[in-house]
A = this chain, B = another copy of it.
Amino acid sequence: MENYEELLNCIVKEIQKKSTKTSVPVGISNRHIHLSHGALTKLFGQGYELTELKPLSQTGQFACKECLTLCGPKGVIEKVRVLGPVRKDTQVEILMSDSFKLGIKGDVRLSGDIADTPGLTLVGPKGSYELDKGVIVAERHIHMAPADAVAFQVKDGEKVGLKVPGTRGGILDNVSIRVDDSFTLECHLDTEEANAMGITPGLNLEIIK
């Protein structure tokens, strides 16, 4: 009987070990814009609603048909995609290289953390919208549901590393874990991070703690 229990324990441990997740799929973001209702109205007109082009991996999020122009003190970037739905605050996520082109500071921040970030002017078909803050370079992060956090043995707000294979491989430090019931498991990097490390969409990267 004792041997039987030992065998059971051994099987349970093996199953647990195999169910501990270690790798996450990658999603790569280019520069994009989230609009508040006020900004949407000013840029596209009263009563305007965003037009969904295609759904994104995070539930309820979508790429829109609409694009806008970003205007900074030193330069302009045209055809920047709007993502929906409308949010409480307008937020513009740029690449670090865009910050040099626009002539504004490139602040690496997690989405939503926009205190003391730079602004710029958005230009749309019905007018312009002067943003006093909300321009960030997105800090790399991993979205996951609470069950994923258990499987990975990580907590919301924790920072982990990601091992990148290949010629341009290496390790990305300080990748923030973001846990929410609504989140689908995915690591978000921007196009500069992906290009620099030779990462293509859908690649799975190993978490290092």
Contact = CB atoms under 8 A, between A and B. Distances in A.
Interface in A181-196: 190-193, 195-196
Quickly give the copy total for this chain: 2
Interface string A80-117: 00000000000000011100000000001000000000
A170 B167 contact: no
A193 B95 CA distance: 12
The A interface is mostly helix, strand or loop, or mixed, namely: mixed
A146 interface: no
Which of A139, A172, A191, A196: most chain B Cβ within 10 A?
Answer: A196
Contacts of A97: 191-192, 195
Interface of A: 95-97, 108, 139-140, 161, 167-174, 190-193, 195-198
A196 B198 contact: no
Contacts of A96: 195-196, 198
A173 to B, nearest CB: 4
A188 B157 CA distance: 34
Contacts of A171: 170-171, 173
A95 B195 contact: yes
A172 to B, nearest CB: 5
11 contacts: A96-B195, A96-B196, A97-B191, A108-B198, A168-B174, A168-B193, A169-B174, A170-B173, A192-B195, A196-B196, A196-B197
